[in-house]
Structure 1
């Protein structure tokens, strides 16, 4: 008896069931999820999550993609018992679907050459820290394997420069540059930092059980 049609039907049924169970149904559930009002620990309320602004944050997300940050950093905090993410301080809780409802696409990442960034906006709220880290990670994180992004900055030795409005001039630490050295970030660096500071999963949400 020729069983090929039966086998093919079984394979097709498995593929269809997997498509519905793993892709289509979760996607429908995700589409129904919207930002909601969250009560913070201090009793104040806020909408979570918020959309990226078109001025700096959304362009910064594109810089994040174009610079290949997604290849070395993830944006998903694993639950306790599935790694040491929370113990390392990478997040205050595990990531949940609501964290990503406004992200198209979400940059969950595929590996962690560097630390997870899902909550970097809370861990590092300082613009100056981020800019120094981008210029040369060894300044803020000695031993880091992250490459420097000095091409995003204009470097001046000696007199403090007069940067364009909205672009800070940051002096490098004396331990790094013996002569007075200043860096001025370009628009890409400023936008990237603005985007990184939006990465915050600090609110407790009912999705976390």
Structure 2
């Protein structure tokens, strides 16, 4: 038995061991686990100029007053069309190297507005430059400090072809003076304009993302026209999120391959999700209701496809059950 109050060597060794174990379990492992998600199909990586702007955003402490997260609450609908997903941050949160994790930009204060979708709300480069130079020029009640060191005043005769100048009518420069934006200001504005919430409604998967539909074959080959119909309907309505492989997107959309809900012998929950939508898991995006867009026969084709693909092996769904559940959902809405 250790006599730690006298054996200082073992006491220090024990304390160090506990520190290492806690550091690995509380800090290191969670940091790597948080990276186990994928970019949303169709999202683009940051350009080199946008990455420089990102570094300036961090260096200038913008995160102290601005958030980049849309929460799943009513008041946050001002900032984006949907709640933020882990996959939204894939490219801005990539690990710098094995030792360094890129800084979190989610923020916790909203002294200023959320910037998740600022690139869509304010697409004008001139507006952003004026806002950095003197926020009160474009937002009279703004409490944001001026970033005037990112600009310099010069005479118009010294302005070069590639220089970006601020409108003299707004900055109220006297004589031939003009305000020129530095490269840092331009890089930061490019980054801010890149902050645009990805819209799935406008996403059109590329052709290589959607494989060719299986050809209709007779019953002797094991593939029926109904199954081909289900595959086509799945690709049209579900594949952009859950992917044609059924694997989903980590941090955005749950996998259907191996899903307990999809493979349940009682498919009521799966049918209700398709009819009514689903928003019970914060780590995934909201599933929209498809009941108004699909007939009972189409829902049956989709569910049968999902329950018999990607290794799933569940029995077919009865059309009568889908009709019954649709009626119950409709009656619940009326009441």
TM over 0.5: yes
Once the 2 structures are TM-superposed, how far is the Cα of residue 198 of structure 1 from its aligned partner?
1.2
What SS does the aligned partner of 1:170 have?
coil
Which structure shows the higher helix fraction?
2
Distance of 1:162 and 1:34 partners within structure 2: 45
Once the 2 structures are TM-superposed, how far is the Cα of residue 103 of structure 1 from its aligned partner?
1.8
Structure 2: any 5+ residue segments left out of the alignment? 1-17, 94-101, 201-240, 242-252, 254-283, 287-335
Distance of 1:96 and 1:71 partners within structure 2: 21
Structure 1 pair 173–91 and aligned structure 2 pair: CA distance change class (3 A)? farther
| Aligned mate of 1:150, from 148, 151, 156 | 148
Say whether the 8 Å CA contact 1:73–1:111 is kept in structure 2: yes
Distance of 1:173 and 1:138 partners within structure 2: 15
Structure 1 pair 143–24 and aligned structure 2 pair: CA distance change class (3 A)? same
Residue of structure 2 in register with 1:85 after alignment: 76
What SS does the aligned partner of 2:35 have?
helix
Distance of 1:26 and 1:162 partners within structure 2: 48
Tell me whether 1:113 sits opposite 2:111 in the alignment. Answer: yes
Distance of 1:203 and 1:121 partners within structure 2: 13
Say whether the 8 Å CA contact 1:78–1:85 is kept in structure 2: yes
Write out per-residue CA displacement over residues 8-42 of structure 1, whole angstroms, 9 at most, x where no aligned residue.
Answer: xxxx9xx98xx57x9846853x43322242xxxxx
Distance of 2:31 and 2:186 partners within structure 1: 36
Distance of 2:52 and 2:88 partners within structure 1: 20
* Total equivalences in the alignment: 174
Write out per-residue CA displacement over residues 122-176 of structure 1, whole angstroms, 9 at most, x where no aligned residue.
Answer: 111111110000000001111100011111111236x4652352x31222335x5
Tell me which moved more, 195-204 or 142-151.
195-204
- State the TM-score, normalizing by the size of structure 2: 0.47
Once the 2 structures are TM-superposed, how far is the Cα of residue 91 of structure 1 from its aligned partner?
1.3
| Aligned mate of 2:137, from 139, 146, 155 | 139
Residue of structure 2 in register with 1:7 after alignment: none
Residue of structure 2 in register with 1:177 after alignment: 172
- State the TM-score, normalizing by the size of structure 1: 0.72
Distance of 2:141 and 2:168 partners within structure 1: 18
| Aligned mate of 1:32, from 36, 39, 42 | 36
Distance of 2:31 and 2:198 partners within structure 1: 24
Structure 1: any 5+ residue segments left out of the alignment? 1-11, 38-46
Structure whose alpha-carbon radius of gyration is higher: 2
Which structure shows the higher strand fraction?
1
What SS does the aligned partner of 1:85 have?
helix
Structure 1 pair 161–138 and aligned structure 2 pair: CA distance change class (3 A)? farther
Distance of 2:53 and 2:76 partners within structure 1: 25
| Aligned mate of 2:61, from 68, 72, 78 | 68
Distance of 2:173 and 2:55 partners within structure 1: 35
